[in-house]
Structure 1
Amino acid sequence: MSRNFALTLLVSLLTGSLLYLCTADVGDFAPCLSFFHKQWPPKGLQGTPICQHYFNQYHFATLYSRPRRSPLFSGYVYTAPQGKRPSASWKFEPQLAYPGANGSMLPFPPGPVDQNVLESQAVSLDYINSTYSRGHLNPSLHHQTHEDRAATFTLTNVVPQKAGSNDGPWELLEQGVNKSISAYCLGEAYIVTGVIPYRKDDHWLRNHRVAVPEYMWSAYCCPKFNNSLPEELRDEFPTYAAIGRNDRNSTEEIVPVDQTAKRQFKGFDVKRMPLQTLEMYLKDRFNTVVSVFYEQCNTAD
């Protein structure tokens, strides 16, 4: 372990020992339930809750899979973006490695990575020369403040995503959601974005440390919206969902391939669908009932 990394963790452990009796940012969604509709996290998926903490505040919530070293989903409240996309300063979660550490995410210092950090989560080296990009579940594009946007650059919020998806149909989906919600949602909009693993024979990055999802999914809940919706959006409120391909060789059972797509994006298509249809696919793949929003984003007060 480098001296810089050792000092970073020492400071985190010392400050964490003073705060740990009051709050735990890993292992409990209680401090960050406000990022979910009706303070109700998605049900049915098993993992380690993380309240993503940065610059003395919570920014979003993540359900993390330690065996996969990647998130199962991230939940957040949408805010209209402003300014330029922050530079990528990648961070890690100290409490995944040391339960008594400070709960705030930390930037990776230069030099070798601490062994406990290496065993507990993905590190930047996993993605180098892997043929996969770092795909945000909670994208910077869906946030307003610099701190909110910078907080999305943690490896506990990203999964291995093919560039043809990340820079193509999936990015178009994120931009489309941005436009629809900013134009027609009158109150808070809650978004949950997650992954669908392979049915069998998990795929991994080259060093067999970080699991690769076969599909990605996303759903939003906007309880209060403008009733004067254009005809093409009337089925997309108060909630809507989508599934995107992350593997060109996947079957077309869930998402058909657009044969007219540009070569670099062909096979990374996104299929929009009602929330109930998404939950049907999640139930089939995870072999359990998965509920994304409380009462499927019930708009009643």
Structure 2
Amino acid sequence: MALLKKWSIPPLAALLLLLSIVPTGSKVVDSMSQCAEFLLNGTPPNVPGILEGGNILDQNRYKPICQTFLDIRRFVTLYDTENKIPVFSASKYIGTNGKRPEDIWQIEPQRGFDKGHLFPCSYAPTVDHKKSTFTLTNVVPQNGPFNKGRWSKMESCIKCVLDKYCINSNKIKEGFLVIGAQPGNNIISNKVNVPSMLWSAFCCYSHSEKRWLASAHWGQNIDGETYLQTKTLAELHSELST
């Protein structure tokens, strides 16, 4: 996720205003089950204190969004209306094609932060899918060196694993991804929370390995180490529970 030259977060009177920044046609829905095609076995991830057993614990605060572009659903986001950042975005990985679109943001830069995609443009399968990731409900204020350094390296490594090993018994490339952010203590313009940590997880069935593959990564949203350690999904759940 390279630095986007135009970055800011406009006044947010309502979540619908965010959805209107780019013409996605995205829909706020009542339940994660309404966007279940992007989740392994249609089952939402467990995010302690937010989404447990498939249920959103505070439905007034957390809103599921079926991210839609040109009348086609592309991925799903759970959005935190209080912190004004996504909790996570999730999607099915089926391979990639096409180049990154030109910078389509039409808003002023916010000094000091990149506009960090959760579901990355580089994981999207087509140009239209890539364009759909350029919505403010899929991005968080991300430390620049973290975004372009160890986070970007991790994204590239996971993409290589997905492309090489995540081919199912029907010889179809298929993996499931969930990428999220944990709120921090800092606030920038328009009361937008700066996450303290970003996290990423994937799983897939590998026909060549004849087993399920899964891993997780996370890192503090600051300058730091040169790489992110590979962890298990259980370790990620434990980290999010603290």
One-letter code of the match for 1:87? E
- Deviation of 1:280 (Å): 0.4
Find the partner of 1:89 among 87, 104, 114.
104
Q: Distance in 2 between matches of 1:142 and 1:204?
A: 29
Q: Distance in 2 between matches of 1:225 and 1:136?
A: 30
- Residue correspondence of structure 1 range 1-301 to structure 2 within 5 A: 25-44=28-47, 45=50, 46=56, 47-90=62-105, 124-125=107-108, 128-187=109-168, 188-198=174-184, 202-205=185-188, 207-227=189-209, 237-248=212-223, 258=225, 261=226, 269-284=227-242
- Deviation of 1:80 (Å): 1.8
Q: Distance in 1 between matches of 2:99 and 2:139?
A: 20
Of Structure 1 and Structure 2, the greater helix share is in 1
**Does the CA-based 8 Å contact 1:239-1:274 persist in structure 2?**
yes
Runs of 4+ in structure 1 displaced over 4 angstroms? Answer: none
Q: Provide the identity percentage.
A: 32
List runs of 5+ in structure 1 lacking aligned partners: 1-8, 13-18, 91-107, 109-123, 229-233, 249-256, 262-268, 285-301
Report SS of the residue matched to 2:202.
Answer: strand
TM-score (norm 2): 0.77
Deviations 1:89-146 (A, max 9, x none): 23xxxxxxxxxxxxxxxxx6xxxxxxxxxxxxxxx44xx2330000000001112211
Q: Distance in 1 between matches of 2:219 and 2:151?
A: 7
TM-score (norm 1): 0.62
- Deviation of 1:35 (Å): 0.2
One-letter code of the match for 2:100? R
Report SS of the residue matched to 1:191.
Answer: strand
- Deviation of 1:148 (Å): 0.8
- Deviation of 1:24 (Å): 5.2
List runs of 5+ in structure 2 lacking aligned partners: 1-16, 51-55, 57-61, 169-173
Q: Distance in 2 between matches of 1:163 and 1:24?
A: 30
Of Structure 1 and Structure 2, the greater strand share is in 2
- Deviation of 1:27 (Å): 3.5
- Deviation of 1:194 (Å): 0.3
Q: Distance in 1 between matches of 2:33 and 2:27?
A: 9
Q: How many residues align?
A: 203
Q: Distance in 2 between matches of 1:129 and 1:181?
A: 33
One-letter code of the match for 2:132? A
Q: Distance in 2 between matches of 1:223 and 1:179?
A: 15
Deviations 1:1-24 (A, max 9, x none): xxxxxxxx9xx8xxxxxx9xxx95
One-letter code of the match for 1:195? A
Let me know the Cα RMSD of the aligned residues.
Answer: 2.4
- Deviation of 1:214 (Å): 0.9
Q: Distance in 2 between matches of 1:24 and 1:143?
A: 19
Report SS of the residue matched to 1:270.
Answer: coil
